[in-house]
Structure 1
Amino acid sequence: MKKICLFAMTLMAVTVAKAQTLDEIISKHIEAMGGKDKLASIKTIHMEGVIVGANGNEITISIWKEHNKLFRREINFGMGTGITLITDKGGWNTDRQGNVNPMKDEQYHRQEFQLDCQSPLVDYAAKGHKAELMGKETADGKDYYKIKLTLKGGNEQFYFIEASTYYLDHLSFKAGSTGMGGGPGMNPDAEIVVKYSNYAKTDDGYIFPFTTTTTGGFGGSLNYEKIEVNKPVEESKYKAQ
């Protein structure tokens, strides 16, 4: 009986230590991004950039976010604009011809995390997410903490936090985890990896990665030319048009 109690106490101690280590890593990541108070002050974000596809074609992209209320992404293909709109009321997609298609419930709930301006890792438990420290990995001469984040909507993401800077180095997930199948003709089980780089401060002191490079799926590199924080968002951005 004593052995069983000792084992249970040891198991509890290991579990607590692991949870503390997880929270410590997330806390250091948040501090590296400016601190919890700085991130909590983000109410809106406007981003503009250029995507260079795997075939070399350039596509412009604009994103508007209002914390817990709005995520709007416009991608200009040159022959039309595709819009993804998510609000606290629902989600919609438009095609290049301007047809508006409401998201199914599963799609919407798996995309709701896009409404978060601060990061799903900030107060993750209070937001209904579950985080788990998967260990430490080494690649390309760098050490990373691997964190599995199961979002409230059920989709899983893997965060790779660089051990030396505590910046998010890359994020991986399954193509179909968004509830949208990953795109036409794409294997929903295919792995998508998004690498974040070129971290810099905006004029008002907010830290963002100004370059993201995606492998898997449609791939390509996105370079942000403008990132603005806490600028008013026009009411028209809430409309799927």
Structure 2
Amino acid sequence: MGPIQRFALGATAALAGLIVPGCSGAEETEAGLSVEQVIARHIDAIGGGDAIDAIRNIHIQPEIVEPEFTLVGDYRATREGRMRVDVFIAGERVFSEGIDGDGGWQQNGEGADFTDTSPLARAALERGIDFNLFGLHDLAARGHRASLFGREEIDGVDYYVIHVAMAEGFERFYYINPGTWMIERHREISALHPDIDSEERPAETIESNFQEFCGVLRPTETRKIDRETGDEIQRSRAFLIECNLDPDNLHIGRNEPVAAPVNAN
């Protein structure tokens, strides 16, 4: 496997954290808000539960930058649990992976054989569907759990911290700004490229440039920081987000035709 393919294998780590459009618990903070109240204010601020629930599928094209590579991704997912992401470098498709009716799959470039995803990669792909299509208010019904972890001040903002525990064991902490009720940061311990290096490290993702798509405010830019070293390890910029496309135009299966994304510049 060449260096481009090794890098491309981890591209969906950025997509799994790119967008989070609000679970249960009744814990109170010193300010008197429960987890339900914090999540409800967040959901109202980004457009409301009805707007989030009306999104049946999503299509995202991001530019993803790491110290050694810059790539463009093409990500599609549906509420029914199907998804596909294609990774391009200089217009060439170098890697694809997804979940279809036959399970999780990977392909190392145009014309290569299809192989099964590893359990770690499959779990990351499934989390991406949760985080990109569902809101925090949906997660409890999907078997996940949220609780209020208290408050934490960062750069002068006294954030509400929401702890989300996914059904398969993954954990993430969301930092909600009480002035805007936006999720501006999230923290987790994870592997950046699980199929290359399974070492899990603490990281923080900073979300910014919120814009409205399909009635929902979403961050279009992220920066991922290694919390032990302080180094930036990844950044992303979504230059196309659209939703509720004709399912026939999603081309989401492993044998579907795929075209290179629009120019990221």
* Residue 117 (structure 2) aligns with: 103
User: For 1:160 and 1:48, how far apart are their aligned partners in 2?
Assistant: 25
* Residue 228 (structure 1) aligns with: 242
* Residue 88 (structure 2) aligns with: 76
* Residue 184 (structure 1) aligns with: 196
* Residue 65 (structure 1) aligns with: 77
1:128 aligns with 2:143: yes
Shift of 1:163: 1.7
Per-residue CA deviation, residues 174-207 of structure 1 (Å, 9 max, x unaligned), is: 224xxx973524522x1132221100113x4332
The 4+ residue runs of structure 1 with deviation greater than 4 A are: none
Distance 1:184 1:35, change over 3 A: same
* Residue 253 (structure 2) aligns with: 238
User: For 2:34 and 2:133, how far apart are their aligned partners in 1?
Assistant: 22
Shift of 1:49: 2.2
Preserved CA contact (<8 Å) 2:145 2:164: yes
Shift of 1:33: 1.4
Distance 1:23 1:76, change over 3 A: same
Match for 2:211: what amino acid?
A
Shift of 1:170: 1.5
Distance 1:181 1:221, change over 3 A: closer
Distance 1:211 1:70, change over 3 A: same
Q: Secondary structure at the match of 1:124?
A: helix
Q: How does 1:33-72 map to 2 (within 5 A)?
A: 33-55=46-68, 57-72=69-84
* Residue 17 (structure 2) aligns with: none
* Residue 105 (structure 2) aligns with: 92
* Residue 5 (structure 1) aligns with: none
Structure number, greater radius of gyration: 1
Q: Secondary structure at the match of 1:238?
A: coil
Preserved CA contact (<8 Å) 2:71 2:88: yes
Structure 1 window deviating more from structure 2 (19-28 vs 98-107): it is: 98-107
Distance 1:93 1:120, change over 3 A: farther
Distance 1:218 1:115, change over 3 A: same
* Residue 149 (structure 1) aligns with: 164
The percentage of aligned residue pairs carrying the same residue is 22
* Residue 10 (structure 1) aligns with: none
Q: Secondary structure at the match of 1:125?
A: helix
User: For 2:208 and 2:78, how far apart are their aligned partners in 1?
Assistant: 24
Counting matched residue pairs gives 221
* Residue 214 (structure 1) aligns with: 224
Match for 1:175: what amino acid?
S
User: For 1:150 and 1:111, how far apart are their aligned partners in 2?
Assistant: 16
Per-residue CA deviation, residues 123-173 of structure 1 (Å, 9 max, x unaligned), is: 322111011211100111112111111111111111111121111111222
Structure 1 window deviating more from structure 2 (104-113 vs 135-144): it is: 104-113
Structure 1: state its 5+ residue gaps: 1-14
Preserved CA contact (<8 Å) 1:144 1:161: yes
Preserved CA contact (<8 Å) 1:156 1:173: yes
Distance 1:235 1:28, change over 3 A: closer
- Which structure carries more relative contact order (alpha carbon 8 Å, separation 6+)? 2
TM-score using structure 2 length: 0.73
Residue among 177, 192, 208 paired with 1:197? 208
Match for 1:132: what amino acid?
S
TM-score using structure 1 length: 0.79
* Residue 26 (structure 1) aligns with: 39
Structure 1 window deviating more from structure 2 (154-163 vs 86-95): it is: 86-95
Q: Secondary structure at the match of 1:236?
A: coil
User: For 1:214 and 1:106, how far apart are their aligned partners in 2?
Assistant: 20
